[in-house]
Structure 1
Amino acid sequence: MRILIAALLATASLLSPLSASAQSMDVEATIKAVDAQKLNLMLDDGKTYKVPEEFNFEGLKAGVKVVVFYTVVDGNRVVDDLQIVD
C-alpha cells in the first residue's frame, strides 16, 4: 500500500509543472491597436493578445488603458478578462 501511495505522489509531482505553466497572468498597458476581425488586441508592450469569439470590443480603441488577464496557450496570449482603467 505504501508503494502505491508513493507511486501516486511521484506521478502527481511530475504532472504538477504542466498545470503551473497554464496559470493566469496580468498586464496593465495601453491599447495600441484593435483588430475585431482577427480577434486580437495589440498593447503598447509590443505584444498581441487573442480574444474569444464572443468578446465585446465596445469602448476599446487605441489609447485606452487596460488591465488584461491572460493565459499563454500554445505560445499565444489568450485574454481571460479585461478591465478598462479610469
Structure 2
Amino acid sequence: MRFFVATLLAAASILAPVVGYAESADVEATIQKVDAKNLSIVLDDGKSYHAPHDFDFTGLEAGVKVIVFYTEVDGKRVINDLDIVHHSNFGKTA
C-alpha cells in the first residue's frame, strides 16, 4: 500500500506542471490592429491575440478599448472572450 501511495504522489508531482501549462488571464487595452483574415488582433500592449475560427469581429477596429480574456498556450495568447469597454466613435456624429 505504501508503494502505491508513493507511486501516486510521484506521478502527481510529475504531472502537476502540465496543469499550469495553459495560463488564463485578462487584459484591458485599446485595439491597434484587427486582422480578421488571420484571426488576430494587436493591442496597444504590443501583443498579438489569436481568435478561434468562429470569432465575431463585428465592432472591432483600431481605437476600440476592450477587455480580452485569453489563455496562453505554447506562447500564443488565444482569445476566450472579449468585451468592448469603449468604442472610439461612440457619441460622434457624421
TM exceeding 0.5: yes
Identity of aligned residues (%): 59
Superposition TM-score, scaled by structure 2 size: 0.85
Q: Deviations over 1:16-64 (max 9, x none)?
A: 1111121211111100010000100000000000000100001111111
Shift, 1:81, TM fit: 0.9
| Structure 1 partner of 2:15 | 15
Unaligned runs of 5+ in 1: none
Q: How many residues align?
A: 86
CA distance in 1, matches of 2:75, 2:41: 16
SS of the equivalent of 1:63 reads: coil
* Cα distance in structure 2, aligned partners of 1:23 and 1:75: 10
Give the letter aligned to residue 69 of structure 1: F
Q: 1:68 matched to which residue of 2?
A: 68
